[in-house]
Structure 1
Amino acid sequence: MPTLTKLYDLKEAGEHNTRDDCWVVVDGKVYDVSSYLDEHPGGDDVLLRATGKDATDEFNDAGHSKDAIQLMEEFCIGELDPSDTPEEESSSDKKADLTKKFRDMTLQYWAIPVGILGISVIACLFFMRRK
């Protein structure tokens, strides 16, 4: 006798977005990862940012191992309701999202080196002027 699978919509899964109650959606399945947050090698913030949307792309981009994929099955609590799947994003939406990610990444990885360089130039000018 096959087991009945509980269906969830994306909105309902997105409401579970705290450290004590965290659900993520990957490949059409809903996972309650609340008890796994402290164990996740990428940190709990990665999982918390994945709530409220289909995180399949992020999951696949991270390059998870086969063991990680098998471990996920322990946390599966149901499936995403197929009638609730959003329409495919347009290419302009995807391009805008990619631009935003690139801008965020640029700020994250270049802010400190640029700040250090700026302080160094100011210090150099200050000491050259004193001579």
Structure 2
Amino acid sequence: MRAGLALILLASALAACVTPAVIRHEPPKESVADFSAPKGSTYTAELPFNAGTGYAWTASRFDEKIVKLEEQSSRRAGGEAMPGGPMIEELRFNLVGRGETIIVFELKRPWEKDAPAVDTRSVKVTVTAK
């Protein structure tokens, strides 16, 4: 009886170790966020901006063998909708390969090619085996 219970507990613990994660957060302004998750997980960066300004978040400098940008969308940040109101840009990545990479997010106007970003955020992603 005890051996059977121990086996069930061990199997549950092992299953929890390999379950893909769903991670959502706003990367910090002043430092590099750092997280680790198993291959097959998803990561969604939630980045604030104001509607109607022309500014948009982009993701760059990441290794596409480790993370793959799957979807980018915007939503209201909450409260009542208003022109120029606060929005959240969501960039969803699939963690597709083992290793480490840094995703750099930049807030800028797409047509201002030589202008520096008005905000930059970074996330270090470590993808582990399933």
- Report TM bin, short chain: under 0.3
Which fold has the larger relative contact order, with Cα–Cα distance below 8 Å and residues 6 or more apart in sequence? 2
Question: Which structure has more helix as a fraction of its residues?
Answer: 1
TM-score, scaled to structure 2: 0.19
TM-score, scaled to structure 1: 0.19
Question: Which structure has more strand as a fraction of its residues?
Answer: 2
